[in-house]
Structure 1
Amino acid sequence: MNLNIESGAEERGMQLQELEELRLDAYDLAMWYKEKTRMWHDKNLRKKELKVGQRVLLFQSRLKLMPGKLRSRWIGPYTIVAIRANGAVELQGSDPDSPSFMVNGHKVKPYRNGMEASVVDDIALLMPNSR
């Protein structure tokens, strides 16, 4: 009976060792996946070219409290007054007397005015003869 307990304890120790190895392998694979995903994301990032005097739209992150899921989350346009070294952007409203405020540079995108929707050639589809 003493032999059975010792062999059971040894077998349980081996099972715990295998479980620990599986956990470490899963951790390594997760780290590898995160690194690969991060590299792909960084490779496909586009750098924003912001300049002083440029008009931009501001992302409104507090829109969740307002009803209407079809409302635009971009407000503005605002004019860039200054760009800081840490990525912050100083914005001013369309009125020159309005106070300026600082926002994160990731929350703005260039404003493109004069974008016009154009109609592409209409092609009339012929209806087949019905019998």
Structure 2
Amino acid sequence: MDLNRVDMKRCLDLNEMEELRNDAYINSKSAKQMMKRWHDQLISNKEFQKGQRVLLYDSRLYIFPGKLKSRWVGPFIIHQVHFNGVVELLNSNSTNTFKVNGHCLKPFMEPFNQDKEESVSLSHINLNQKWVDGLSLSRD
């Protein structure tokens, strides 16, 4: 038995295993970067202004929540927007302010008011005319 040959083969096997480990590390790192890029493109930038009304996501853990209900609470009024994504909110029924992460907010959409109805008169439209790409073609 040649100990030199066995020693060299063992050393080559160890080097080959280390190369495989390094390749796996590089592949996993590139896969993580691609996954991060894909997830980051799904994030939408939210721009908030002072005085805007927003809803706050309630992220507390409820073990037995009971009925299904929305986890968005509010509306709150934005008191101040900081450059690092922190938003200072003003409680709508008091003068207390508190700071939250801007990712936990979404704009509050005012409910549709059915009292303000607009009517548009269509009596001036000639039904005997045909419109094609902005050109009037008469049926005469």
Structure with higher helix content: 1
* Distance in structure 2 (CA, Å) of the matches to 1:22 and 1:71: 51
* Distance in structure 2 (CA, Å) of the matches to 1:89 and 1:41: 23
What corresponds to 2:22 in structure 1?
24
1:34-49 matched pairs, under 5 angstroms: 34-49=32-47
Structure ranking higher on relative contact order (CA contacts 8 Å, 6+ apart): 1
Equivalent position to 2:98, from 101, 105, 108: 101
CA deviation profile, 1:88-109 (whole Å, cap 9, x unmatched)? 10101221x3411111111111
What corresponds to 1:33 in structure 2?
31
**RMSD, aligned α-carbons:** 2.1
Q: Which runs of 4+ in 1 moved over 6 A?
A: none
Q: TM-score, normalised by structure 1?
A: 0.74
5+ residue gaps, structure 2, are 114-140
What corresponds to 1:59 in structure 2?
57
CA deviation profile, 1:13-39 (whole Å, cap 9, x unmatched)? 111111111111111111211222222
* Distance in structure 1 (CA, Å) of the matches to 2:110 and 2:63: 26
What corresponds to 1:81 in structure 2?
79
* Distance in structure 1 (CA, Å) of the matches to 2:74 and 2:63: 17
Q: Identity across aligned pairs (percent)?
A: 40
5+ residue gaps, structure 1, are 117-131
